Structures are given as C-alpha cells and as structure tokens.
Copies of this chain bind each other. A is one copy, B any other.
Amino acid sequence: MITLLNIYRDYIACLNKKAWDELDHFIHDRVRYNGQEIGLAGYRTMLQQNYRDIPDLYFQPELLVANDSLVACRLTFNCTPIGTFMQLPVNGHKVQFAENVFYQFNGNKIKEVWSVIDKAAIEQQII
C-alpha cells in the first residue's frame, strides 16, 4: 500500500513539473478516463490542454487513501483559468476548488480514472 502511495506522489510530482516524457512511467497505454479509453497520448494531450487553460495549475493532494490497487485523492487547486473553464467564464479570476478522484492501478500504472471536479464551487466564486 505504501508503495502505491509513493508511486502516486511521484505521479503528482511529474504533473507539477510538466515532465511529459515521464508520464508513461505512471499511465497505462490504454488508460480510461471517466468511462472513455483515451490512452496515454490522449491523457498527455488532456493535461497539456489543462496547463494551457490554467498556466498556474498546481496539483496539491489534501486527502489520500489507498489499498493494493486503488488510490483515492482529494486534490485542491488555487489557480487562475485564463478563459472558459468547465464551460464557465472564469476569465482570469483566481478560484479555489477541489477534485475528488479515484485511480485504478494495473501493476505500477494508472489504468482507469474517475474524476469529479467541484464545478458548483467555481460557479459560486465567479458570480
């Protein structure tokens, strides 16, 4: 269990340093995201788009729990989407929100992700 948490922390560090050439250490070739197989290339594209939309994006684990194949994390964000984010006109406002997310591992790699981002919290901050 500790090993999986360590791998997960290394994955988050990989995202925060935008080390896209290391993403294959953590992400399965045929990874599924919210019910759809997007694969490693699609996953990398999604993350790169996230950083274009939110240049100051930073992943901060707040709660973390794992068993031998599943990791759950509450990530918190304090960042500045430059335009539309989740179909909301954030337009450079600084917002704080959370993402509660589960990761199914296959060996040392993430094979499936179920993510929910707190859109309602963002809406309340841009009214």
Interface residues, chain A, with chain B CB atoms under 8 Å away: 63, 65-67, 70-72, 74, 86-87, 98-102, 104, 114-120
Complex Cα distance A104/B63, Å? 10
Q: Would you call B63 and A65 a contact (CB within 8 A)?
A: no
Q: Would you call A116 and B114 a contact (CB within 8 A)?
A: no
Identify A116's interface contact among B65, B66, B99, CB under 8 A: B99
What residues on B are CB-neighbors of A98 within 8 Å?
114, 116
Identify A65's interface contact among B67, B100, B118, B120, CB under 8 A: B67
The residue of chain B having its C-beta at the shortest distance from the C-beta of A119 within the complex is B119
Q: Would you call B63 and A114 a contact (CB within 8 A)?
A: yes
Q: List 25 A-B contacts (CB under 8 A).
A: A63-B104, A65-B65, A65-B66, A65-B67, A65-B71, A65-B72, A66-B67, A72-B72, A72-B100, A74-B102, A74-B114, A86-B120, A98-B114, A98-B116, A99-B116, A100-B100, A100-B101, A100-B102, A100-B116, A116-B116, A116-B117, A116-B118, A117-B120, A119-B119, A119-B120
What residues on B are CB-neighbors of A101 within 8 Å?
100
Complex Cα distance A104/B65, Å? 11
What residues on B are CB-neighbors of A67 within 8 Å?
65-66
